[in-house]
Amino acid sequence: MGGFTYSFHPTSLREYDIRGIIGETLGADDAFAIGRCFGTVVARAGGSSVAVGYDGRLSSPMLEEALVNGLMACGLKVFRIGCGPTPMLYFAAYHLKADGAVMVTGSHNPPNYNGFKSMIGKKPFFGKDIQMLGAMAAAGDVVPEAKGSFEKVDVSSDYVARMLQDYDGERGLKVVWDPGNGSGGVITERLAATLPGTHVVINAEIDGNFPNHHPDPTVLKNLAQIIAKVKETGSDLGIAFDGDADRIGVVDGEGNMLFGDQLLVVLARDVLKNHPGATIIADVKASQVLFDEVAKAGGTPLMWKTGHSLIKQKMAETGSPLAGEMSGHTFFADKWYGFDDALYSAVRLLGILGRSSESLADMREALPQVLNTPELRFDCSEDRKFEVVKEVAARLAAEGAEVQAVDGVRVLTADGWWLLRASNTQAVLVARAEARTEEGLERLKASLAAQVVASGLKAPDFSGENAGH
């Protein structure tokens, strides 16, 4: 083969992962090239093994095979753990002491999408690392071709057993689970069958067509089925996962959705009992209520940039035992490995509720009530999105506004706050606002809209978007 060179589609190498449309921007050749380049990075760092898993999408087995061939061409040993959730692959990397890991997954994207998430050693592989793969492929900068090997390894029993080890509930609960026909289906069934209590699992069959609903548990309409089932069965709560089970969605016994930041409050209070004063991290989109409640529970709240790789990196830096994002990524380093794992987070949540006299609905209702917009995303070209945020920041500075500039601008006023940031993965700006009163929310939305318009964009459409939480 000798002169290996390859050019990826310019849209496929993203900030946190590699992603594309099968047959258009992503295919078997890309998967092989990723294996060849990522394998080179591992080999040059002195590594000899990589763990590989794949999700339930129809294109995943084909991509996995090409990826494995690329890794083996670097002389590496590949542990093939088969179809399962992304966090099971992360677990396998620790459990098998692999030097790297690659998951073939389209996460919660439409069925015709797919992609790759990676880690090297114990760290996420993202940002400049991913761009480096593109440069290596274009230059043919890979280790000489060699003959590697693979071994099929089933870590599922070890993974389930390790999660159950940290279950600490005193009573079983009635729970409805919805893995959304994603790759967490089989593991969800096994977990539910072993936990105490009464469990109903819907949409457990792994089906890359996602016949029942789109596998994104942070969008209310995708929870309609689980909410109906929770009410019908009189269950204590419902737990839903995204397509590769690294993001969680939760509904209480009354059928109300808990937002990612509300769930984090429940988890943080428990973790802080054993780690007083610990740093709890959440992304800039989280409610002020979360940061206030963490402080009230004796923790040190830290607002950080949105993005699972960035949060993992910050956790390692600060020694934080727990972090979360509005998107439903929840990261436990308390007793666990610090990666985002929706299944493990579910086990910990059931432990908390199984030791509490309060229901999840009680806990949600006791939180300070605020009004907010959901996450609004509006188009803004790649070359303008970061510039617009800079322009807004400059105008706000000139006005003397109180701004948190961790990731975009989060503006604090007497009414509450509004946020504007550039998405790392799409040509969009993301906005959100939160206030204690309707009038306050209207003022915040007007202020946000005025800034967007001042930078030459159309004001975001807030119509009918208010959601209390």
Same domain, 150 and 162: no
Question: Which among 159, 174, 410, 215 is positioned nearest to 328, based on CA atoms?
Answer: 215
Q: Among residues 101, 123, 154, which one ends one of the domains?
A: 154
Same domain, 322 and 381: no
What are the tokens at 369?
């009530």
Question: Which among 275, 280, 250, 282 is positioned nearest to 335, based on CA atoms?
Answer: 275
Same domain, 396 and 317: no
Same domain, 218 and 272: yes
The domain tally of the chain equals 3
pLDDT in tens, 377-398: 889 998 899 999 999 999 999 9
Same domain, 394 and 415: yes
The reported pTM is 0.95
Choice among 60, 107, 183, 235 that is catalytic? 107
Token look-up 């808990």 returns 258
Q: What is the CATH number of the domain that holds 222?
A: 3.40.120.10
Same domain, 189 and 222: yes
Q: What are the Cα distances from residue 69, in Å, to 23, 102, 151, 393?
A: 19, 13, 13, 48
- Asked if residue 79 lies in contact with residue 93, where contact means CB atoms within 8 angstroms, the answer is no
Whether 107 is a known active-site residue: answer yes
DSSP collapsed to 3 states, 62-100: HHHHHHHHHHHCECCEEEEEEECCHHHHHHHHHHCCCCE
In a domain, 13, yes or no: no
Q: Among residues 309, 338, 366, which one ends one of the domains?
A: 366
Same domain, 253 and 133: no
- Asked if residue 392 lies in contact with residue 409, where contact means CB atoms within 8 angstroms, the answer is yes
Q: What is the CATH number of the domain that holds 455?
A: 3.30.310.50
pLDDT in tens, 210-264: 999 999 999 999 999 999 999 999 999 999 999 999 999 999 999 999 999 999 9
Q: Among residues 125, 154, 183, which one ends one of the domains?
A: 154
Same domain, 105 and 241: no
Same domain, 329 and 442: no
Q: Which residues span the domain enclosing 437?
A: 371-468
Same domain, 264 and 412: no
In a domain, 146, yes or no: yes
Q: What is the pLDDT of residue 468?
A: 46
pLDDT in tens, 331-388: 999 999 999 999 999 999 999 999 999 999 999 999 999 999 988 888 999 889 999 9
Question: Which among 353, 365, 278 is positioned nearest to 323, based on CA atoms?
Answer: 278
